[in-house]
Amino acid sequence: MIARPVLAANWKMNLGPHEARAFIAAFAARSPEQRGTTVIICPPDVSLDAARDAVSGRADIHLGAQNIFWEDKGAYTGETSAPLARATGAEFVLVGHSERRHVFGETDEETGRKCVAAARAGLTPILCVGETLAEREAGETERVVLRQLHAGLRGLTPAQVAGSLVAYEPVWAIGTGRTATPDDASTTHRALRAAVGGVLGAADRDVPILYGGSVNTANAAALLAAPGVDGLLVGGASLDPVSWASIVAAGAARAAHR
Ligand code: PEP
């Protein structure tokens, strides 16, 4: 079973190979190897290889891709397949990140195909779900995230669902400086966990569910302490090795109290 809390960094379209190497060296120097946590860094594809070299020897630091295409190979210019991401050192992949859904128009159906492709290649999908501000204000949070959850996971076998991760990332909280309160995160995580049990046929409800959306060094500990929050997915604050090391330290402190 994956050690939790899980601390996942999404670098988005930042940090090329040289910067990735320098970041990981600086982070690793500040953050001693942890047994009770899982650290996942998702660099841009072009930096995966350099990041793989940089993390070698650190069993607690894993790599993820930020996106994949659902076909394994072929004439799909500009895309990265799951086997290619795997070959470049990724063990995880973000699927359905809000920027994929809302900037690039990725549909629920496409997230489902990507999760299937990821699992087929031995990549662990981190399925991202989250409501927009308008959906939240209309009282539709649960309906939206459960729809996204089902669409993303329904093509997987129960064992593959059990091996996946989910990230609840309210769209209005990503990169905005607004975070869900720990109580709000817990409420939505509870609904997601119950639904994962449904998708799985109640075989295993223990899929890690991460929270993401303007997490920083000041709010990480409170969010990690919220019931049902198994980890964090962090964008902006993961781009600085000092603040990322501090968020990972909050995760290690949380692990020590479990
Ligand atoms: C993200 O990119 O998944 C994210 C949560 O970004 P930020 O932490 O910057 O809101």
Residue 97 annotated to the active site: yes
Q: Which of 145, 250, 236 is nearest to 196 (CA)?
A: 145
Rounded distance from Cα 54 to ligand 1 centre (Å): 23
Contact 207, 193 (CB under 8 A): yes
One of 62, 110, 169, 189 is an active-site residue; which one? 169
pLDDT at 204: 59
Out of 233, 238, 239, give the residue to mutate to test ligand 1, the one with the largest number of ligand atoms within 8 Å of its CB. Answer: 233
| Structure-token pair, residue 92 | 């995880």
| Structure-token pair, residue 235 | 């964008």
Q: Which of 152, 159, 162, 76 is nearest to 117 (CA)?
A: 152
Residue 106 annotated to the active site: no
Q: What is the pLDDT of residues 178-223, one digit of tens each?
A: 998 999 999 999 999 999 988 766 455 689 999 999 999 999 999 9
Q: Provide φ and ψ at 63, rounded to 5°.
A: -115, 150
Residue 237 CA: nearest ligand 1 atom is 8
pTM of the model: 0.96
One of 62, 97, 106, 135 is an active-site residue; which one? 97
What are the structural domain ranges in the chain? 6-256
Question: Atom 8 of ligand 1 has which residue's CA nearest to it?
Answer: 235
Instruction: Mark residue 9 as left, alpha or beta (left: phi above 0; alpha: psi -120 to 50; beta: remaining).
Output: beta
Handedness of CA 230, 105, 239, 78 (dihedral sign): positive
pLDDT at 198: 81
pLDDT at 202: 47
Which class is 6-256 in CATH?
alpha beta
Contact 66, 34 (CB under 8 A): no
Handedness of CA 214, 215, 218, 224 (dihedral sign): positive
| Structure-token pair, residue 242 | 């000092």
Pocket of ligand 1 (CB under 6 A): 10, 12, 97, 169, 174-175, 212-215, 233-237
Rounded distance from Cα 218 to ligand 1 centre (Å): 15
Residue 214 CA: nearest ligand 1 atom is 10
Handedness of CA 149, 188, 190, 226 (dihedral sign): positive
Residue 12 CA: nearest ligand 1 atom is 2
Print pLDDT tens along the chain (258 aa).
Answer: 899 999 999 999 999 999 999 999 999 999 999 889 999 999 999 999 999 999 998 999 999 999 999 999 999 999 999 999 999 999 999 999 999 999 999 999 999 999 999 999 999 999 999 999 999 999 999 999 999 999 999 999 988 999 999 999 999 999 898 998 999 999 999 999 999 988 766 455 689 999 999 999 999 999 999 999 999 999 999 999 999 999 999 999 999 877
